[in-house]
Structure 1
Amino acid sequence: MNGLHLIADLYRCQCPPDLLIDRDVLETLCVDECRGAGLTPLGAYFYQFLHDDGQKAGVTGTVVLAESHLAIHTWPESGDVTLDVYVCNFSRDNSERARQVFSRVLDALKPQDSACHDVIRGKILAEA
């Protein structure tokens, strides 16, 4: 279960608007960045929220990875995003791959402010 969980709250993102309101655009970015970092996407589910008038609103999505997952949620009204990238490090250390995905997605979103956290998951047990 040992792994790395990268968590970000991103504020006032200055990216092109379609990245925050278009399911297909956001899904493509997330899946492509996972693949580009050497992670293994097994599937993705992204949901497009709509305003009452039918116009696109925020997006929520998850990329399921063989190594674990990426989750993202957008609030285009304020330009805010939450992003989680979690990888397990069971058969190989995927920490740098996770950091690459995390960094590339943050670069694409261009937040004016952010709160980011690295959480080490699991614990290493000493042999008895």
Structure 2
Amino acid sequence: MIGRHLLLEHWGGRGLRDAALLERSMRAAAREAGAHILGAHFHPFEGGGVTGVLLLAESHVTVHTWPEHGYAALDLFMCGEAPVERAADVLDAMLAPERSERRTLARGYRNQASQPAS
């Protein structure tokens, strides 16, 4: 396995319009996973959501929010055995969604078909 890709969905909570809070939360999550941050870019849209990315030596953490739907989609992709679940725990704690769901996909298996998503 090359890495794991955790898809995190948030409904409600904080940060849907707050690029600074999202960046602080994502940086804290990356640190919790032992990742090395190479750069960041966050773009707040007029009257609405935020798109942001942390570029990591280990891959990336991204966010896209739709405040009009009370929804945020976050991706945590890190190589090796990085603890993406602990990083997601930090995001849940800092952003306090009303509901949170996770799916994890093992990335980079030679026989990808034999490795189901969890």
**TM-score, normalised with respect to structure 1:** 0.77
Is residue 2:70 matched to residue 1:84? no
1:84-127 residue CA offsets vs partner (Å, 9 max, x unmatched) = 000111xxx21x2x2111111022222233332110001158xx
Map of 1:10 onto structure 2 = 10
- The answer to whether the Cα contact below 8 Å between 1:3 and 1:88 also exists between their aligned partners in 2 is yes
SS in 2 for 1:84: strand
Gaps of at least 5 residues in structure 2 are 112-118
- The answer to whether the Cα contact below 8 Å between 1:2 and 1:124 also exists between their aligned partners in 2 is no
Q: Which stretches of structure 1, 4 residues or more, deviate above 6 A after TM superposition?
A: none
Structure 1 counterpart of 2:85, which letter? R
Gaps of at least 5 residues in structure 1 are 52-56
Map of 2:41 onto structure 1 = 45
SS in 1 for 2:6: strand
Percent identity, please. 35
Structure 2 counterpart of 1:39, which letter? A
Q: CA–CA distance in 2 between the matches of 1:71 and 1:34? A: 11
Larger Rg: 1
Q: CA–CA distance in 2 between the matches of 1:116 and 1:37? A: 16
What is the count of residue pairs matched by the alignment?
111
Query: What root-mean-square deviation, in Å, do the aligned CA atoms of Structure 1 and Structure 2 show?
Result: 1.8
Q: CA–CA distance in 2 between the matches of 1:14 and 1:71? A: 17
1:40-119 superposed matches below 5 A: 40-51=36-47, 57-89=48-80, 93-94=81-82, 96=83, 98-119=84-105
Q: CA deviation at 1:64?
A: 0.6
Q: CA–CA distance in 1 between the matches of 2:10 and 2:29? A: 18
- The answer to whether the Cα contact below 8 Å between 2:25 and 2:95 also exists between their aligned partners in 1 is no
- The answer to whether the Cα contact below 8 Å between 2:32 and 2:90 also exists between their aligned partners in 1 is no
**TM-score, normalised with respect to structure 2:** 0.82
Q: CA deviation at 1:44?
A: 0.6
Q: CA–CA distance in 2 between the matches of 1:34 and 1:49? A: 24
Map of 1:33 onto structure 2 = 29
